[in-house]
Chain A
């Protein structure tokens, strides 16, 4: 299976700062990459798919980029509601199986 690795595990930032989260795939997943936001006690919420397409209703301060094995999610100016855990997920169809990264927790500095 494809292994997804996210870094860092935790990011301490202040509101208003720019934040970049990284996700690496163990082999190329082309642009078959999604990002999710999960707040405590809630299900994950889709933010980005196709590596760079924002899902419906997602604020423009969220942007995704990358292809192949290296991806990033950038939050241009962190808002209070953005403190959460972020997961990347590949959906390349070979080898079979859907896997997620371990997550990056964005916490208040």
Chain B
């Protein structure tokens, strides 16, 4: 079955960077888009951007341009999201999720990675 397995929780200080991985299995990695989203404590869902491993394209949400870097390694069907210049309000659970096209519904989702930014 299709699975997205994310890396474990991380704690960082303000100003640092963090990199989260999303290892996929059960489908052709290059046939789907892979998105990154986040959810701050007690809050709703916020979309960060997507990658297209087939075309090499990637798009970040405007508020994250310049701070988020999305990469991937097709040989191991794994995507990565690095967020730099961390602030306390970047504390959130970060998810990866799959879609068939750029603008689409998300299914399935990774289990989430807790990122905590604290002095």
Residues on A close to B: CB < 8 A? 32, 34, 36, 43-46, 49, 55, 87, 89, 91-93, 96-103
Contact between chains at A44 and B61 (CB < 8 Å): no
Instruction: Given the known inter-chain contacts A34-B105, A92-B103, A98-B103, please indicate yes or no for A87 contacting B110, CB distance below 8 A.
Output: no
Contact between chains at A100 and B45 (CB < 8 Å): yes
The secondary-structure label for the interface of chain A is: loop
Contact between chains at B45 and A44 (CB < 8 Å): yes
CA gap between A92 and B105 in the complex, in Å? 10
Q: Of B46, B102, B103, B109, which is within 8 A of A43 by CB?
A: B109
A-B contact count (CB 8 A): 50
Residues on B close to A: CB < 8 A? 35, 44-47, 59, 61-62, 95, 97, 99, 102-112
CA gap between A93 and B59 in the complex, in Å? 13
- Residues on B with beta carbons closer than 8 Å to the beta carbon of A36: 106
- Residues on B with beta carbons closer than 8 Å to the beta carbon of A87: 44-45
- Residues on B with beta carbons closer than 8 Å to the beta carbon of A46: 105-108
CA gap between A49 and B62 in the complex, in Å? 25
Contact between chains at B106 and A34 (CB < 8 Å): yes
- Residues on A with beta carbons closer than 8 Å to the beta carbon of B105: 34, 46, 49, 89, 91
